[in-house]
Amino acid sequence: MNPRILIISITKDINKFLAFNIGVLMLILSFIFIIGGYEKKEFILAIFLAGISSLTVNLLSAKIMKRKMEKIIHYSFEKVETQLYFDELTSVYNRTTGINRLMEEMARSKRHKQHLSVAMLDIDNFKSINDNYGHLAGDRVLNHIALQIKNLLRASDVVSRYGGEEFLIILPETDEIKAFMALERVRENIARRPVRIGNGKLNITVSIGITEMDINDSSTDAIQRADLALLQAKRAGKNRIEIAPKYINTID
């Protein structure tokens, strides 16, 4: 349910509660004054003052309750949205969201006949980082890499953690040459900026595979080609970028 709709529903329930509360108070006061034999003027004045006081207190209470509920609801929805769409460790999109965004961008590029490039980025020697420095150091490296990628790419580019130490990067309105230039800046910047681990610094490098989407490609085709280009970059010595040929046999 949309947070706004939920808040409106809760507000209606609060208003119903207020009306019921005031009505009950009036009935009780009426009963007391009838049994006590009070004068009509005293009765009317008491009912009026009690009604005004009750309404004021209830309205203030309702306003406070509404504000608290709005904060709770917005916080809850933001937390759920984060868990559904984002990787908890790196704060970039998770794998499922990344693939969904890829399909969205593919549909947009076909509709507007625009270039679209896809890249797979992998942290070199990541297993040895975990083995030699521990998993907390590995987590710090993942965070560092994710932050560098996001900071150096455009707001329109999409970054997701594809799995382990691998990231899926989607570059709308970008051919393979421009994608290479953009990701070369990322690669160089990562290589120049070591990660602080304890009292020391750890040099990190990444390898990247790039492919430009063809109009007949599926998301699986694009990811497989980029992954094959990434594998080639690893085999060629790591800390480098390879561009996949546009027409190669992908693995079924």
Structure-token pair, residue 160: 């997701």
- Bridge-based pairing of strands 241-243 and 206-212 is parallel
Pair 238, 207: CB distance under 8 Å: yes
Distances in whole angstroms, Cα of residue 115 to Cα of each of 88, 105, 130, 221, 226:
31, 10, 38, 16, 15
Catalytic residue positions, numbered: 165
Structure-token pair, residue 56: 């004021």
Structure-token pair, residue 85: 């769409």
